[in-house]
Chains A and B, each alone.
Chain A
């Protein structure tokens, strides 16, 4: 597609429920990132994929968070046993190559998650 696509754009869920957020990166982009943005804050790194593998998952806050990218394109961020503190905008981004080569990352419009 022309840009990074994220679904759903908005999700309201009850505390304790399981949530999946989907990201479709720009075609041909090998690198994919998930960030989380809380109100009034900058994007906070969660995980980076190069191809199918998670090259860096150091930003995932705990084991309730997991992400996959099985075919090296679409990625799914999975959150188990959601808590109210998980409420944020989850941003997906992609780049043509790895971040340590000056590649620009392009962001989707985000998935707004509200846990009630």
Chain B
């Protein structure tokens, strides 16, 4: 089974600063990778996904993530944080042999004005 590790359960950045949320996965075979965002009292919304095309993936709201096979990582970044980015972010993985998506425990992003 896959496992997904999100380092840092809470991240705080100043408005306008770089956002970096970390995600590492366990599979030796490149999987499919996703980032989801969850605003308070709402469902999960897809930010972006990697499916073996370009390693740098651009998503909604200015977010992007880079797949690095050698590091088994798929970190999420945004050059300049907005107040509206405050939310919970989840990294997820699915693979060729699986029947499910595996989620990390999430990173709560706080943006300080």
Q: Which residues of A contact B (CB under 8 A)?
A: 4, 33, 35, 40-45, 48, 55-56, 59, 91, 93, 98-100, 102, 104-110
| Among A35, A40, A43, A100, contact of B97 (Cβ-Cβ < 8 Å) | A100
Q: Please, which residues of chain A bring their CB within 8 A of the CB of B90?
A: 42-43
The 11 listed contacts between A and B (C-beta, < 8 Å) are: A40-B105, A42-B4, A42-B105, A42-B106, A43-B44, A45-B100, A56-B99, A91-B44, A99-B101, A100-B95, A102-B32
Q: Please, which residues of chain A bring their CB within 8 A of the CB of B51?
A: 102
- Sorted nearest first, the 8 A-B pairs with minimum C-beta distance are A42-B103, A56-B99, A102-B51, A109-B43, A107-B43, A107-B44, A99-B94, A45-B100
Classify chain B: how many residues form its interface, as a range: 20 to 34
CA distance A106 to B101 in the complex (A): 12
CA distance A98 to B49 in the complex (A): 16
| Among A41, A93, A98, A110, contact of B99 (Cβ-Cβ < 8 Å) | A98
B46 at the interface (CB under 8 A from A): yes
The distance from the CB of A89 to the nearest CB of chain B, in whole angstroms, is 9
| Among A4, A41, A98, A104, contact of B34 (Cβ-Cβ < 8 Å) | A104
CA distance A43 to B43 in the complex (A): 11
The distance from the CB of B106 to the nearest CB of chain A, in whole angstroms, is 5
Chain B interface helix/strand/loop/mixed:
loop
B16 at the interface (CB under 8 A from A): no
Q: Please, which residues of chain B bring their CB within 8 A of the CB of A99?
A: 94, 98-101
CA distance A107 to B36 in the complex (A): 10
Contacts known (A43-B90, A99-B94, A102-B51); A91 close to B43, Cβ less than 8 A: yes
CA distance A104 to B99 in the complex (A): 13
The distance from the CB of B5 to the nearest CB of chain A, in whole angstroms, is 11
Are B95 and A45 neighbours in the complex by a CB distance under 8 Å?
Answer: no
